[in-house]
Amino acid sequence: MNKWLWWGTVLPALLLGLAGYSEQWHLGLSVTGMNDQVVWGLYISQFVFLVGVAASAVILVVPVWWWGNPSARGLLRLAESLALAAVVTSLLFVMVDLGHPVRLWHALPVIGQLNFPQAIIVWDLLVLVGYMVLTMALLAGWKHPMGILLAAILGVAIHTMTAFLLAGHPARPFWHTGVMAPRFIASAFAAGAGLMLLLVRYWPVTSVEWGRLYLRRIFLGCLGIDLFLLGSEWFVWFYRHTSEGEAARLLYGGGMGFWSGWVWIGIGLKVLAMVMVWRYVTGYGLGVVGIWMEKGLGLIIPGFVPTPLGEVVSYWPTWVEWQVTVGVWALGIVLLTLLIQYAVHAKNISDVAVDSKTCSIGLNAFFENAQPIKNDDDLIS
């Protein structure tokens, strides 16, 4: 893509976001569409989606660590760059959501006060910050198999904690389900695989055929699991009409108007993407957008409607809210571009500290298109 065109798109988006945030800073969160009924909205839905993208690096980190496949290593840096950009952007979305951002230091250890281990937000922030630091270290070239194992564990942990952040509230029956975390992981891996397959066109490594096939399988398999888990939720919500299932019945039954349509379009896009990828090996973008719609506002709003006191209200993100959201996304895209350029220029695309002789358990044959290891110099121990 033309460099000037690219900056010409991103810079105005950044300025737009800055203008929106400055308005929010002065007038408070009243400039957003959020209210006492729907206390989280567009910002937190972006946070949830992006933590998923960040977590998806696991799908490459694990095979590289476990099977030591050299052609998977070619994509590892891409996954790590995407993960770091996504985790930073997700944290920015939490920050713009705060009513009193100057008091952020209250959430620092020692000088602040952390409600640990009670508050799930604290768990989530701890693993997110840990994951961010770790991804930075890995991108900077820290070579230790332990680091990669840790990245795999923390990758799953960040999205599990984000799910618990929503699922831990009996007051919010739409979220109060143990299926939340597995569903999050499944849709996150699908979204991550889809995004990586879109980004791979801009990735300078050519021998990524194995990676492409592998990511395609992850995309299809994880979307399938995601839809199966959604079906399981539907059964519980619809088999008996309990008051706990009220939000789901409103959402999927059309009672939430625009947002009912929104969530059905999201689900439709996911199904369409699965069919297209399965038949024609394209359509990843549709799947990613579908996940963004369903796991974003399609998940957050029904948590609040009806309210614990039975009020059915609506939520519309305001222009300022969209401005800030576009701005934060633009910042994330700038960061991703810089990280990818850094990763390319540092010429460390394939230098992963994994010795396939010790790590591989001979499952390479599992992926029929895996490239054979040409010589030992390929592997840095």
Partner 1 sequence: MDPERRTFLQQLGVAALATSTVSAPEPAIGSMLSDALEQLLQNHYLRMTPEELEKTLARIEREVKKEYGANIHCGNVPPLPETSFGMALNLSRCIGARDCVQACVKENNCGRNDSLENIRVLSLPRGSWELTDSNHYYAPSHVPEGDRWYLPVQCQQCDDPPCVQNCPVNATWKEPDGIVVIDYDWCIGCRACAVSCPYWARHFNWQKPAIPSQEMTTETHYLGNRPRPMGVMEKCTFCIQRSRKGQMPACLEACRTGARIFGNLLNPESEIRRVLSTRPIYRFKEDKGTKPRFFYFVDAS
Is residue 91 a contact residue for partner 1 (CB under 8 A)? no
Which CB atom, from 2 or from 243, has the smaller least distance to partner 1?
243
Interaction between residue 147 and partner 1 (CB under 8 A): no
Kindly identify the residues of this chain, within the stretch 225-284, that bind partner 1 according to CB under 8 A: 243, 246
* Binding-site member from 11, 129, 146, 312 for partner 1 (CB under 8 A): 312
Q: Which stretch binds partner 1 (CB under 8 A): 67-75, 184-192, 287-295, 306-314?
A: 306-314
Contact 45, 296 (CB under 8 A): yes
* Lookup: tokens for 372: 């054979």
In the bound state with partner 1, the residue whose beta carbon lies nearer, of 128 and 330, is 128
Examine residue 306 and tell whether it contacts partner 1 (CB under 8 A): yes
Single out the residue of 2, 3, 5, 100 in contact with partner 1 (rule: CB under 8 A). Answer: 100
101 lies in the binding site for partner 1 (CB under 8 A): yes
For the bound state, the minimum distance from the C-beta of residue 324 to partner 1, rounded and expressed in Å, comes to 15
Q: For partner 1, what does the binding mask look like between residues 123 and 142, x meaning CB under 8 A?
A: --x-----------------
CB of 378 to partner 1, least distance (A): 46
3-state secondary structure the chain: CCHHHHHHHHHHHHHHHHHHHHHHHHHCHHHCCCCCCCCCCHHHHHHHHHHHHHHCCHHHHHHHHHHCCHHHHHHHHHHHHHHHHHHHHHHHHHHHHCCCHHHHHHHCCCCCCCCCCCCHHHHHHHHHHHHHHHHHHHHCCCCCHHHHHHHHHHHHHHHHHHHHHHHCCCCCCCCCCCCHHHHHHHHHHHHHHHHHHHHHHHCCCCCCHHHHHHHHHHHHHHHHHHHHHHHHHHHHHHHCCCHHHHHHHHHHHCCCCHHHHHHHHHHHHHHHHHHHHHHHCCCHHHHHHHHHHHHCHHHHHHHHCCCCCCCCCCCCCCHHHHHHHHHHHHHHHHHHHHHHHHHHHCCCCCCCCCCHHHHCCCCHHHCCCCCCCCCHHHCCC
Residue 169 is a binding residue for partner 1 (CB under 8 A): yes
Minimum Å distance from CB 285 to partner 1? 32
Cβ atoms of 69 and 211 closer than 8 Å = no
Q: Is the CB of 241 or the CB of 357 nearer to partner 1?
A: 241
Q: Does 303 bind partner 1 (CB under 8 A)?
A: yes
Q: Which residues, 21 to 40, sit near partner 1 by CB under 8 A?
A: 27-30, 32, 34-37, 39-40
Q: Which of 143, 172, 212, 216 binds partner 1 (CB under 8 A)?
A: 172
Measured from the CB of residue 236, what is the shortest distance to partner 1 in angstroms? 17
Of these, 104, 129, 281, 346, which contacts partner 1 (CB under 8 A)? 104
143 binds partner 1 (CB under 8 A): no
Residues between 339 and 358 with contacts to partner 1, criterion CB under 8 A: none
Under the rule (CB under 8 A), what is the footprint of partner 1? 27-30, 32, 34-37, 39-40, 94, 97-104, 106-107, 112-115, 118-122, 125, 165, 168-172, 243, 246, 303, 306-312
